[in-house]
Chain A
Amino acid sequence: MKSKPSTTPRRSQGAAPKVVKTKRTRTRPTSAAAPRPARTQGPRRSSRLRAWGRHHRAMALDSLQRLVRTPLGNLLTMLAIAIALVLPAALWLTLDSARLLDAELEESATMTLYLDHGVSVAEAGRIDEALHANAGVISTRLIDPEEGMAEFQRSLGLEDALTGLEENPLPASIVVRPRSVEPTSMEQLAAELGELAGVEEARLDLAWVERLRHLAELGRRVALALGALFGLGVLLVVGNTIRLAVESRRREIEVVMLIGATHAFVRRPFLYSGAWYGLGGGLLAMGLLTLGNHWLSLPVAALAASYGASFSLPALDFLGSTILLSCSTLLGWLGAWLAVSRHLASIRPR
Chain B
Amino acid sequence: MIAFEHVGKRYGGRFEALANLDFRIERGEMVFLTGHSGAGKSSLLRLIMRLETPSRGRVLVAGHDIAKLHAGQVPFYRRQIGVVFQDHQLLFDRNIFHNVSLPLEIQGVEPREAARRVRAALDKVGLLHREKALPIELSGGEQQRVGIARAVVNKPAMLLADEPTGNLDPQLSADIMGLFEDFNRIGTTVMIASHDLALIARLRHRILRLRDGRLVADEGAA
Chain A residues at the B interface, C-beta cutoff of 8 Å? 1, 17-23, 25-27, 29-34, 36, 39-40, 43, 47-48, 50-52, 54-55, 251-252, 254-263, 265, 348-349
- The complex places the Cα of A254 from the Cα of B85 at a distance, in Å, of 13
A40 and B26 contacting across the interface, CB-CB below 8 Å: no
Which B residues touch A262, using CB under 8 A? 72, 75-76
B102 and A19 contacting across the interface, CB-CB below 8 Å: no
Mostly, the B contact residues are: loop
Which B residues touch A39, using CB under 8 A? 154-155
Least CB distance from B119 to A in Å reads 13
A–B pairs, 6, beta carbons within 8 Å: A21-B64, A26-B62, A32-B187, A55-B108, A254-B89, A260-B103
- The complex places the Cα of A18 from the Cα of B111 at a distance, in Å, of 28
- Assuming the contacts A55-B108, A349-B51, asked whether A259 and B79 have C-beta atoms less than 8 A apart, the reply is yes
- The complex places the Cα of A263 from the Cα of B76 at a distance, in Å, of 11
Interface residue B198 (Cβ < 8 Å from any Cβ of A): no
Which B residues touch A30, using CB under 8 A? 27-28, 155, 157, 186-188
A257 and B75 contacting across the interface, CB-CB below 8 Å: yes
B interface, size bucket: 35 or more
A260 and B64 contacting across the interface, CB-CB below 8 Å: no
For B28, give the chain A residue with the smallest CB separation.
Answer: A33
Least CB distance from A67 to B in Å reads 17
Mostly, the A contact residues are: helix
Which A residues touch B110, using CB under 8 A? 47, 50-51
For B120, give the chain A residue with the smallest CB separation.
Answer: A37
Q: Would you list the 5 A-B pairs with minimal beta carbon distance, nearest first?
A: A51-B108, A33-B187, A260-B79, A260-B78, A34-B186
Which A residues touch B26, using CB under 8 A? 1
Least CB distance from B76 to A in Å reads 5
For A251, give the chain B residue with the smallest CB separation.
Answer: B91
Which A residues touch B93, using CB under 8 A? 252
Q: A25-B62, A34-B186, A47-B110 are in contact. List 9 more A-B contacts (CB 8 A).
A: A23-B79, A25-B63, A26-B80, A30-B28, A43-B107, A47-B108, A258-B83, A260-B75, A265-B75
- Which residues of chain B (95-151) have a CB below 8 Å from chain A? 102-103, 105-111, 150
- Contact among B77, B107, B108, B188 for A19, CB-based, below 8 A: B77
- Contact among A27, A257, A265 for B80, CB-based, below 8 A: A27
For A42, give the chain B residue with the smallest CB separation.
Answer: B76
